[in-house]
Amino acid sequence: MVEMSVAGLALDASSRSPIVLLRDPSGQRQVPIWIDHAQAHNIMVGFQDRSPERPLSHDLMMALLQAGKLNLEKVIIHSIEARSFQAVLKLSFLEEQKISLGNSKNVIEIDARPSDAIALAIRAKCGIWMLENVVAEASIPVDAIADEEDQEQFRQFIDELSPADLIRHLEEKQANEKDSFEPPEQTSETDE
């Protein structure tokens, strides 16, 4: 298993759907999980230091866990079925609850949507784990050093760019596109 961290939230350019990005410890791989706007909001609120006036669903879930003397140990995203990630919450009884119940079973597993599991993990400050085969199947490579270098080069380019340079570049590009345009060959349905 690989312990993942929330790298951030993004917006899918084509569908405008939020994406939560989970990154592996090496920073080399990132797993995007498409979620809805309400789920994105619940995840973002979990990162804020202040609590909302009224508890959100995940704040309520955390209060219920505390009232039941349960501890969220970790969440595990364990598979992809029908193009959907599957997750489980790993809960354990607090010591005093185990004694009062006479319960020898220490861990409870509850199925959960990954977005809910992530929102709870942020609030509980517990680990988000993903099976290696899921990471391998769903991850996209991340090259943080190359990204930083590209950003720095782009900043330098913008800093040194004048409006006249931009206009000249656009005019050259237009001229090159006109010069390289070749009309397609005409075909017909019959050969004569």
Question: Which tens digit of pLDDT belongs to each residue from 157-174?
Answer: 667 767 777 677 778 767
User: How many domains does the chain contain in total?
Assistant: 2
Q: For residue 189, is pLDDT > 60?
A: no
**Do 38 and 132 fall within a single domain?**
yes
Same domain, 153 and 165: yes
Beta strands in the chain (DSSP E): 2-11, 18-23, 29-34, 70-81, 84-93, 107-112, 127-130, 140-141
My answer on whether 86 and 156 are in the same domain is: no
Between residues 181 and 133, which one has the greater pLDDT? Answer: 133
| One domain for residues 40 and 77 | yes
Q: What percent of the chain has pLDDT over 90?
A: 40
93 pLDDT above the threshold of 70? yes
pLDDT over 80 at 190, yes or no: no
Predicted confidence (pLDDT) at residue 94 exceeds the cutoff of 50: yes
Report the distance separating Cα 177 and Cα 109, nearest Å.
60
> What pLDDT sits at residue 141?
82
Q: Does 129 lie in the same domain as 58?
A: yes
Confidence tier at 138 by pLDDT (50, 70, 90): very high
Out of 8-12, 140-144, 171-175, give the one with best mean pLDDT: 8-12
pLDDT tier at 67 (50, 70, 90 boundaries)?
confident
101 and 168 co-located in one domain: no
* Residue 105 domain boundaries: 2-142
Residue 55 and residue 134 share a domain: yes
Q: Residue 46 falls within a domain, yes or no? A: yes
Clarify whether residues 75 and 168 are in a common domain: no
